Structure 1
Amino acid sequence: MGLYMWQWRFTGRIIKKGFDPDLHLWNLLVNVYTKCGSFQYARQVFDEMPKRDVVSWTALIAGSVAEGYGRDGIGLYRKMRRDGVRSNGIALVTALKACSICLDLDFGTQLHAEAFKFGVCLDMFVGSAFVNLYAKCGDMELAERVFIYVPMKNAVLWHTMFNGYVQMGDGEKVLKMFCGMRELELKFSKFTLSKVLKSCAHLENWRGGKVVHAVAVKIGCEHDEFLSCCLLDMYSKCGLADNALKVFVRIKDPNTVAWSVMINCLDKLGRSEAAAEKFCLMMQKGVKPNQHTFASVVAAATNLGDRLYCEGIHSCIVKHGFESDNFICNALVTMYMKINSVNNGWRVFKAMSFRNLASWNSLLSGISGSETCDQVPKIFSQMLVEGFKPDIYTFISILKSCSRFLNIAFGRQVHVHIVKNGLGGNNFVATALISIYCKSRCLEDAIILFNRLTERDLSTWTVIIAGYAQNQQGKKAVQCFSQMQREGLKANEFTLSSSFSGCSSLTTLEPGRQLHSLAYKSGLLSNIYVAGALVELYVKHQCIEEAWTVLMGMASRNAVSWNTIICGYSQHGK
């Protein structure tokens, strides 16, 4: 503050001694104060000025912007224009910076009109300021228009445009900008490269990622720990585990993040054993694991399915103080449930001091696939009592259990909750409900639900066709199959198998023969389930020779197909 006081006293003495500073000196004083961060004194000098030009106003607006007062900066610019002072490129750039602070797109577009009026719209610095404003406000279409029309583009303009696309999450445009910058041989920072790698990872564009890797090698930042982690993530998401390993081994002293990314990469790409080995090596080297490390290791342990190893990982989690971490506990519940260690999963769940919806979903998901799936109604009821609102993942797990133990009364209750939560129109959920109704011999309910759907995918059609077949309504199954074809959907192996089952209950074989022809033309006859269902169809219609021909044409035959043909021969005395 001593420097500012000296400057202020110096200004006062100039005026007191009778000096009549010219406009240039006044502007210089305003500029000095703003550059030194003393906006208050700059404003006082500005107010004392007998005359002000565009330089005076620009200096004060710049001071306001430097202090982060974007709205004040806009106000000063408006007053300047009202006072009849003509703007210029520098004043516009400064005012645009003020707009960028408070994200005032409306005033920014007004300034754009002024830029056209004063003929500075194509100026490189003015263009950069407009691109920066539009990008920050999320209007990349306007930013792109300005960028295209600026004839001379500097590195700042390219980077501004690049950062705008990064902010909007437009990975393809980020890559496009990177390629353009590379052609112009512009310099890249590790921050810029990391953003391009993130886009490549999101798009699973390994070719683009390898180009970025080559640039990193060229500019000498390949071994930077931060960039190495980005490379690991990119190769992981692109499914290139070997490339990720090559990057990892070149890191001199991998930190926790690098180890975690590598372990996660190996597990995600189906190399869970290698992920477990990497974790052991990490422990041996004394690197402290974090939440993300344990999340990846628990996932790997789940995939390995070794109960002793899973329990060992749990002990390690407790040892490192993560036993109360909600995210880790949810993963542990899922792990124990998937390896059929239901009691351990229950213990982890009950010991949790805080449970969120993901905790309940982990428990329900595990229980629904276990032998104790009949506990699902009780768990769901308790979840509702504790005030949790179920989501689609909750209902998927519950419907899975309903399908297993066919509790139609509970299924109807769940259906009510699904509608209440606005998920009745979800195809996946609706298909699961239709399947439950069909299996429970409640075909009318299934048909009502099917007819209410505005959009039906192949899975939905397959389930309703299977429902008709299960309930001995072969004619309806065939009609449904024909309707599905008219709507432009192509049958898969499950649809055809269900349709053949439906034809088995018909008195005539003709629809079955037509489906046989379709299966042959579509190449699905080679599927073991399609061929097996066709063998059963011919056997039930006493066409043993045709059944035998289909059986002999199968690339592989299972016990079901052999039993079907044997029963057919025995029933018909052959």
Structure 2
Amino acid sequence: MRYLYFQSKSSLPTNKRWVTPHHQNIISLLQSCSKREELIQIHAQMIRSRLIEDTFYVSRIIAFLAAPSPRSSMAYARRVFDQIHQPNLFSWNSMIRGYANCDAPRDALSLYKLMLRRGFSPDSYTFAVVTKACAHLNALEAGETVRGSVLKCGLESDMFVMTGFINLYAGCGEVNIAREVFDEMRRRDVVSWTSMLSGYARVNRWDEAFLLFDEMRVTGIEPNKVTIMSLISACGQLRALDKGRRLHLRIIENGMERDADVANSIMNMYAKCGSMRNAAEVFERMPVKNSISWNTLVGGFARNGLYKEALTMFQEMACSEVKPDEITIIGALSACAQLGDLQQGKLLHAYIEGRMIARNLFVTNALVNMYAKCGDLAKAEAIFRGMPQRDVFSWTAIISGFVQVSGCKKALSLFEEMQLTDVEPNEVTLVSALSACSQLGALDQGRQIHACIEENNVGKDVCLGNALMDMYAKCGCIEIASRIFHGMPLKDTLSWNTMIGGLATHGHGRAAIDLFNQMQKIGDAEPDSVTLLAVLCACSHSGMVHEGIFYFSSMSSSYGIVPEVEHYGCMVDLLSRAGLIGEASDFIKNMPIAPNSVIWGSLLASCRVHHKMELGQKIAQHIIEIAPNDEGAHVLISNLYAEAGRWDDVRQVRTLMGSRGMEKSPGCSSIEVNGVVHEFFVGDKLLHQYGMIYLVLDGLTHQMNQTVCESCCTL
């Protein structure tokens, strides 16, 4: 019989053996095999020919099954492996690598430990794969043990192995140890440098990443695509536009901008830095644009508030060779939501249906959010109710939508419905629910939400802390609001504004001013126009005229804030409340901006209180001229004439209101009973207990009248 001599390639065990033509045929079949079904047939032939007993040949089957490809099957590979009496190193490495590559790092480590127990010595390839498995698991202790074995085997100078330890330590947050390993390496290639750079980037130590990049260039190591993309990402995270531009110039010099992945990362960096003009320029220069390119630009415009530009890019993409996908659709729907453009949103919805774009959970959530923010709550709820599956974003979109249009009772009803499901609310959901409680004055429900937050250890970020504080302040519990405020580890400008405004509303003007002074002293948040508005309101409600004049006068010089019409209105209210009607009138005349009907109405109300009828009449005539359809202003005018007993003028104003279709909005009060908020309108007879309510009110009125009479008799 003729025999052929066969020597394995470097990827195979390095033993030499004599094989028969039949065996050579099986080897050829193994080398050309591309499907698992073919492998099963070859495996059966090897069993029949007893070739399966040869470790060398069976290792080829294991390598085939454990390779990262659609044909891989680790369960099949393990059955074959467990039948080998003495696996060779190649088989062990193939199995460990297979587990590591198929997201089974625990199995990879378990097999490595079995390998050691059975007396096999790992090589550099084994250690590299095992270190990768440790990195996937963040198993620092196991990694340290592996490193000890590497040192015992004398492989500490193996660049491939030590680069794996850089990734391990950096992935576990031990970037300083990773740097020690890096510095001890005698040889480093571009992968080693990139691993260390990525490690710094992962823990946001960007300055050190850029210093290392400069050092890398000095050593003559040219960065590869991964290096560049890591640094570009760092610039985006840091909002380091200048560094990003310098790096971009180097990329252009090296001709790497033509690579679509690199160009997309550059566009993303510019978008995060707020420079959409630069992002668009990179996009225009791209020789080939893929879906990621278009999505990066559409999403970038939307994130930077350029919603119309985002929709324009979407329309251009729809006309290009690259058609919009789910990510593009979500970005465009978000732009419509922010613009409140219901018509464009409906066109997008029709585009989704017409092109049969997959309505996955994310797209459906975006539709619910768009309809809710555009005010079509009926359509938003219809889509929401038709969803087979809902996540926290689905619930949050519909709840916040109703809060936005003052449908707070419906929002809280939905929140209660959500709590009966398996979906846990997130911070945004809770903020929306607390906002609904604030608007309704629903203290009991607000307290229940607060208790839910505490019981479930929900992380109270600044937004959630602000929402809790606002809810308690608007529900009258200013002391609890104050405790929450002072207990917040981090405060933004809104935190200070909410607390200052709450104190001002509750008549604690001096405390509000003291808190404003504290805000300036601490300096962790800058006052804005809302802050100064709250301060002026505090002065107005507490009669602190001199303080109010001082803060108003120093707005531009001390805080760089140009007074707006609301600030002028506060000053008129401040002077008017203090009875300084003439000063308030002069203040209005000297305003650099035109006063609105609210400002004139504030002065008119004070004229009524302080019996300045002549001035009030002039103001009334002026209001009728500048705000002929302002319902509230006309009611104030009517009340002024009624105060003076000028009933003919009262009738004329009421007749004028009727001819213009104006009706006085009925007064509304709300009260929370057993966690349910009830609203009462003037003259409302729709409540099922209205008879009893009016009976009680009549009784209270009678008691008050008796008390007044008794007091008069006593005097």
Contact 1:62 1:94 in 2 (8 A): no
Tell me by how many angstroms 1:432 deviates: 2.5
**Corresponding residue for residue 258 of structure 1:** 293
Superposed counterparts of 1:357-506, under 5 Å: 357-423=392-458, 426-443=461-478, 446=481, 459-478=494-513, 492-506=528-542
**Corresponding residue for residue 131 of structure 2:** 100
Distance 1:253 1:526, change over 3 A: closer
**Corresponding residue for residue 288 of structure 1:** 323
Contact 2:361 2:390 in 1 (8 A): yes
Matched, 1:193 2:228: yes
Contact 2:536 2:571 in 1 (8 A): yes
SS of the residue corresponding to residue 258 of structure 2 reads: coil
**Corresponding residue for residue 307 of structure 1:** 342
Distance 1:356 1:171, change over 3 A: same
2:168 to 127, 131, 136: 136
Distance 1:541 1:368, change over 3 A: same
Matched, 1:522 2:558: yes
Look up the equivalent residue of 2:411 and give its one-letter code. V
Distance 1:178 1:39, change over 3 A: farther
Percentage identity across paired residues of the two chains: 22
Deviation larger for 272-281 or 387-396: 272-281
State the alpha-carbon separation in 1 of the partners of residues 556 and 268 from structure 2.
44
**Corresponding residue for residue 352 of structure 1:** 387
Superposed counterparts of 1:1-12, under 5 Å: 3=7, 7-9=15-17
SS of the residue corresponding to residue 293 of structure 1 reads: helix
SS of the residue corresponding to residue 361 of structure 1 reads: helix
Matched, 1:208 2:243: yes
Distance 1:385 1:197, change over 3 A: same
State the alpha-carbon separation in 2 of the partners of residues 357 and 386 from structure 1.
10
Corresponding pairs, count: 520
SS of the residue corresponding to residue 289 of structure 2 reads: coil
State the alpha-carbon separation in 1 of the partners of residues 152 and 14 from structure 2.
40
Tell me by how many angstroms 1:465 deviates: 3.7
Distance 1:63 1:279, change over 3 A: same
State the alpha-carbon separation in 1 of the partners of residues 245 and 428 from structure 2.
37
Uncovered stretches (5+) of structure 1, i.e. residues with no partner = 12-32, 41-59, 83-90
Distance 1:480 1:273, change over 3 A: closer
Superimposed CA distance per residue, residues 507-534 of structure 1 (whole angstroms, 9 cap, x where no aligned partner): 6756656756775763367423445423
Distance 1:262 1:176, change over 3 A: same
* TM-score calculated relative to the size of structure 2: 0.62
Contact 2:298 2:328 in 1 (8 A): yes
Superimposed CA distance per residue, residues 178-229 of structure 1 (whole angstroms, 9 cap, x where no aligned partner): 3333344433333332232222222222333333333333333322222222
SS of the residue corresponding to residue 321 of structure 1 reads: coil
**Corresponding residue for residue 22 of structure 1:** none
Higher helix share: 1
Distance 1:153 1:385, change over 3 A: closer
Matched, 1:536 2:573: yes
Distance 1:409 1:322, change over 3 A: farther
**Corresponding residue for residue 351 of structure 2:** 316
Look up the equivalent residue of 2:338 and give its one-letter code. N
Superimposed CA distance per residue, residues 49-79 of structure 1 (whole angstroms, 9 cap, x where no aligned partner): xxxxxxxxxxx98996677479788999999
Look up the equivalent residue of 2:302 and give its one-letter code. D
Tell me by how many angstroms 1:330 deviates: 0.6
State the alpha-carbon separation in 2 of the partners of residues 488 and 258 from structure 1.
41
Tell me by how many angstroms 1:473 deviates: 4.2
**Corresponding residue for residue 54 of structure 1:** none
Deviation larger for 297-306 or 524-533: 524-533
Superimposed CA distance per residue, residues 375-418 of structure 1 (whole angstroms, 9 cap, x where no aligned partner): 11221121111222222111111122223333334333333323
Superimposed CA distance per residue, residues 471-513 of structure 1 (whole angstroms, 9 cap, x where no aligned partner): 3344554565566667667755434433443344446756656
SS of the residue corresponding to residue 318 of structure 1 reads: helix
State the alpha-carbon separation in 2 of the partners of residues 151 and 7 from structure 1.
32
1:162 to 197, 200, 216: 197
Tell me by how many angstroms 1:351 deviates: 1.7
State the alpha-carbon separation in 2 of the partners of residues 238 and 525 from structure 1.
26
* TM-score calculated relative to the size of structure 1: 0.75
State the alpha-carbon separation in 2 of the partners of residues 197 and 6 from structure 1.
43
Contact 2:539 2:545 in 1 (8 A): yes
Contact 1:127 1:146 in 2 (8 A): no
State the alpha-carbon separation in 1 of the partners of residues 447 and 415 from structure 2.
14
Uncovered stretches (5+) of structure 2, i.e. residues with no partner = 20-54, 63-87, 98-107, 135-141, 616-715
Distance 1:451 1:569, change over 3 A: same
Deviation larger for 186-195 or 485-494: 485-494
State the alpha-carbon separation in 2 of the partners of residues 65 and 424 from structure 1.
44
State the alpha-carbon separation in 2 of the partners of residues 366 and 427 from structure 1.
22
State the alpha-carbon separation in 2 of the partners of residues 152 and 387 from structure 1.
54
Distance 1:340 1:79, change over 3 A: closer
Tell me by how many angstroms 1:318 deviates: 1.9
Superposed counterparts of 1:51-90, under 5 Å: 68=96
**Corresponding residue for residue 244 of structure 1:** 279
SS of the residue corresponding to residue 279 of structure 1 reads: helix
State the alpha-carbon separation in 2 of the partners of residues 167 and 526 from structure 1.
42
Tell me by how many angstroms 1:347 deviates: 1.7
Deviation larger for 279-288 or 508-517: 508-517
Tell me by how many angstroms 1:550 deviates: 5.8
Deviation larger for 272-281 or 160-169: 160-169
Tell me by how many angstroms 1:262 deviates: 1.9
Contact 1:128 1:160 in 2 (8 A): no
Distance 1:393 1:148, change over 3 A: same
